[in-house]
Amino acid sequence: MKSILSIVLIIFLMPLGLRAEENNPPAGTYTLIIEGFDWGPAVNKIILNLDQPSKEINTADFEVFVNRSSKDGEIPAAQTSGKRTVVYSYISDENGNRLEEGDHATLVLAVSPVAPIGSPIQYLRMGNRGGNVWIDYAVTVMDTKSGKIWNEEAGRILPIVDDFDLGGKFTHGNITLPYATFTPKGLSAKAPLIIWLHGGGEGGDDPTIPLLGNKAFNYASPEIQALFGKGAYVLVPQAPSFWMQAADGMTRGQTNDIYNEALFALIEYFVAKNPSVDPTRIYVGGCSNGGYMSLKLILEHPDYFAAGYISALAYNNEFITDAMVQRIKHVPMWFVHSKDDTTTKPDETVVPLFDRLKKDGAKNVHFSYYDHVTDITGFYGGEDFRYPGHWSWIYSHANVARKDLDGSAIMLEGRPVTIMEWMAGQKRK
């Protein structure tokens, strides 16, 4: 049975009077560039391998078709196949770098938070839980002028993610945690360590998922790294299932989870293995499930971390005793949440906890509280565009959180700072 893509291509090729067995050039190869955006990953460029060097290319000559499928679950029919919009093209090298003359061409594709056809990752229900997984992302590119087809993937480029070591595995007892690490180049002194703990949909055994499921890789971006002097290590562990898994079901703090001991052992192992890590500047943060686990680690080890940065906190306040609040009130923390978060309800989590910390004398605890999670780029409607309220980690990953609960700017050494600038200034005493 012919796929939708095959039928579409036949319709396009027939008017050209082309006969595949006689006139069509051999099919070519392509490379996908997959970048992470506020809403998740998207294929935003395709690099075509040309038959011969060229100096120019015409954007209007190209059509791009996509077929998305997965053996792990069913993708909604409206998101399985379609046509991508080519907004620009240029001659390039094999990595997509622009050249005056070259034997590759790069097509720049339109991406959008409301265009799932652009994503090579899909949230699927598997068993009794859901999660983000890589899917089969088949592309067919056609030059409508020459009839040339590109339909064989030769590789993928994942900017910044490719700078991580993705092969980490750590075993503690009967638990094995995959993890990704970024090491800054040219270190001449000790550097801080940023730990990021993913949400409930990014568990598994492939650390590219917690890096790209949302924009967590951005902590290794040049812009954020520059805030930490010569740079910072980044450690991104992955739970095989989800951080809030308990021996029986899921915990919101009412009982112990199964992962925190193994996770802290991994952190200690990483620090010992990398003597250039500054032990007085270890920062832990996460979102949702990872927000729960970040607070759990701080509660269990209140004198280990220099600061916490927590979005969409999933640890319920009712399970935090007064003694626990006293134990962590000296730890610098910055919470990020949205008022319309219906998954980790702020009135049950961060709002009462922040109030208790402040009343108990916490001097370096902040809370950026948003009405809604909106388009911070301005490309898709700005304040008029609303993401799900649970996605408050967008403000942390993009380093745009800068105001406290009362709307005032958060200050460090007499100047207003963003969440990452603030964190870079924290040091354990």
| The token pair that represents 300 in the structure block | 């269990």
**Rounded-to-integer distance, Cα 379 and Cα 37, Å:** 12
Number of H helices, E strands in the chain: 9, 22
Q: Is the pLDDT of residue 249 over 80?
A: yes
User: Does the predicted TM-score (pTM) go above 0.85?
Assistant: yes
Mean pLDDT of the chain: 94
- Asked whether the beta carbons of 177 and 170 are under 8 A apart, the reply is yes
- Residues 184 and 225 sit within 8 Å (Cβ to Cβ): yes
Residue 198 buriedness (CB in 10 A; 0-12 / 13-18 / 19+): buried
Amino acid sitting at position 226: A
Residue with tokens 């950026």: 368
| pLDDT of 23 | 57
Rounded to whole angstroms, the Cα distance separating 128 from 239 reads 17
DSSP class of residue 206?
-
pLDDT value for 25: 65
Segment 42-94, tens digit of pLDDT: 999 999 999 899 999 999 999 999 999 999 999 999 999 999 999 999 999 99
> Are residues 5 and 65 in contact, defined by beta-carbon separation less than 8 angstroms?
yes
The angle at the Cα of 300, spanning 336 to 423, to the nearest 5 degrees, equals: 40
Does residue 412 have a pLDDT over 90? yes
Q: Residue 20's pLDDT is what?
A: 40
Residue-wise pLDDT for 344-385, tens only, equals 999 999 999 999 999 999 999 999 999 999 999 999 999 999
Where do the domains of the chain lie, and which CATH numbers do they carry? 4-157 (2.60.40.2180), 161-424 (3.40.50.1820)
Dist. CA 363–CA 352, nearest whole Å: 16
- The DSSP string of 41-93 is EEEEEEEEEEEEEES---GGGEEEEEEEE-SSSPPPGGGSEEEEPEEEEEEE-
Residue 256 neighbours by CB distance under 10 Å: 13
Average pLDDT over residues 322-335: 98
Cα(381)–Cα(371) distance, rounded to whole angstroms?
16
User: Are the C-beta atoms of residues 144 and 12 closer than 8 Å to each other?
Assistant: yes
Reported as a pLDDT band with limits 50, 70 and 90, residue 24 is low
Contact predicate 421/227, CB 8 Å: yes
Q: Is the separation of the CB atoms in 236 and 216 below 8 Å?
A: yes
For 282-300, the pLDDT digits (tens) are 999 999 999 999 999 999 9
93 residue type, one letter:
D
pLDDT digits (tens, 9 = 90+) for 152-205: 999 999 999 999 999 999 999 999 999 999 999 988 899 999 999 999 999 999
**182 close to 237: Cβ distance less than 8 angstroms:** no
End-to-end Cα, the chain, rounded Å: 67
